[in-house]
């Protein structure tokens, strides 16, 4: 930004050039306050520009690397795993089939084209699948997986992410990410249909959450 003196149209070059002989060239004392004012404006502008540059540099450093301590809670993990399973294409296809079957049998039963047992069978199958996928399967998965029973350090930067615990370390590049979605409590990151991790949103500030979304 270039500050210009209004009355005499003194630019930055004029100010620097006349710095050595300001008192001799301008005998009018009205000029001195204006000259000092332009000089102060110039110095303030330089200071603000440097401050802004340092702030951008600090933000870039922050983006380049961030570490978060992660501690999983059982009830939250089971809730997150429910969304993991119902998002699987095989399970979604099966649930779609059962829902269509239930609707068709309900319509046929209404017009008395089938016996009530067929409709009840579809309804029972729907209830069994919902109980299994929403309650039993997430609980079994949590019970058999050590991943969610450890404390982790999640690191990510411009090139990829890693998870570290006292038992090991795993790394992924962002180019390996095949899928990403959010549930109410977690970020779900997939590198393959069966290779994934979930990140508790509660461990991140709002700004960090926005930063993670920007990567995906």
The answer as to whether 3 is a domain residue is no
* Alpha-carbon distances of 168 from 45, 83, 147, 181, 211, rounded to whole Å: 51, 26, 11, 26, 26
Q: How far apart are CA 145 and CA 78, in angstroms?
A: 12
pLDDT reported for residue 14: 43
pTM: 0.64
Do 36 and 135 lie in one domain? The reply is no
For the domain that residue 161 is a member of, what is the CATH number?
A: 2.30.29
Choosing from 94, 114, 144, the residue where a domain stops is 144
Domain that holds residue 37: 12-58
Is residue 4 situated within a structural domain? no
Q: Looking at the structure, tell me whether residues 100 and 202 fall in a common domain.
A: no
Q: Are residues 155 and 125 in the same domain?
A: no
Q: Which two tokens stand for residue 11?
A: 């630019």
The verdict on 110 and 137 lying in the same domain is: yes
Evaluate whether residue 168 is within a structural domain. Answer: yes
Say yes or no: 151 and 92 in one domain: no
| Cβ-count burial 143-176 (b if 16+ within 10 Å, e if not) | eeeebbeeebebbbeeeebebbeeeeeeebeeee
DSSP, collapsed to helix, strand or coil, labels residue 88 as coil
128 lies in some domain:
yes
* Same domain as 92, residue 133: yes
Task: Determine the Cα–Cα distance for residues 164 and 111; give it in Å rounded to an integer.
Answer: 60
Q: Which of residues 117, 144, 171 is at a domain's end? A: 144
Instruction: Answer whether residue 1 is part of any domain.
Output: no
Same domain as 161, residue 135 = no
Tell me the three state secondary structure of residue 207.
Answer: helix
Rounded distance, CA 16 to CA 88, Å?
A: 69
What string of pLDDT tens digits covers the 216 residues of the chain? 333 333 344 443 343 344 334 434 444 444 444 445 554 554 544 444 444 444 433 444 444 577 888 999 999 999 999 999 999 989 999 989 988 998 999 999 999 888 888 889 888 988 999 999 999 999 999 999 888 888 999 888 878 888 898 888 888 888 888 999 999 999 999 987 678 889 999 998 888 888 888 877
Q: Are residues 45 and 86 in the same domain?
A: no
Sheet holding 179-182, edge to edge: 179-182, 186-192, 195-200
Inside any domain, residue 125 = yes
- The answer to the question of residue 2 being in a domain is no
Rg of the chain over all Cα atoms, to the nearest angstrom: 32
Task: Indicate whether 69 and 151 sit together in one domain.
Answer: yes
Number of domains in the chain: 3
Task: Please give the Cα distance from 207 to 68 (Å, whole number).
Answer: 13
pLDDT given at position 93: 92
- For position 40, what pLDDT does the model report? 55
The reply to whether 158 and 206 lie within a common domain is: yes
Return the pLDDT at 20. 39
Residue 123's contacts (CB-CB under 8 Å, 6 or more residues apart) are: 102
Instruction: Please check whether residue 162 is in contact with residue 169, taking contact to mean a CB–CB distance below 8 angstroms.
Output: yes
199 closest CA partner among 157, 145, 159, 162:
162
Confidence (pLDDT) at 190: 92
């Amino acid at each position: 930004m270039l500050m210009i003196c209004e009355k005499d149209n003194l630019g930055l070059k004029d100010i620097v050039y006349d710095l050595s002989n300001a008192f001799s060239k301008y005998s009018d004392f009205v000029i001195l306050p204006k000259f000092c004012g332009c000089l102060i404006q110039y110095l303030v502008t330089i200071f603000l520009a440097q401050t802004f540059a340092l702030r951008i540099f600090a933000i870039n450093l922050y983006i380049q690397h961030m570490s978060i301590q992660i501690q999983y809670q059982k009830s939250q993990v089971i809730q997150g795993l429910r969304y993991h399973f119902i998002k699987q294409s095989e399970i979604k296809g099966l649930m779609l089939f059962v829902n269509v079957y239930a609707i068709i049998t309900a319509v046929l039963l209404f017009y008395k084209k089938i016996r009530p047992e067929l409709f009840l069978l579809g309804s029972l199958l729907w209830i069994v699948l919902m109980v299994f996928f929403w309650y039993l399967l997430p609980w079994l998965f949590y019970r058999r997986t050590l991943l969610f029973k450890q404390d982790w350090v999640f690191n990510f930067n411009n090139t990829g992410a890693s998870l570290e615990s006292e038992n090991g370390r795993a790394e992924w590049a962002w180019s390996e990410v095949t899928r990403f979605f959010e549930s109410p409590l977690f970020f779900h990151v997939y590198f393959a249909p069966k290779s994934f991790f979930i990140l508790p949103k509660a461990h991140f500030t709002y700004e960090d959450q926005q930063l993670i979304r920007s990567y995906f």
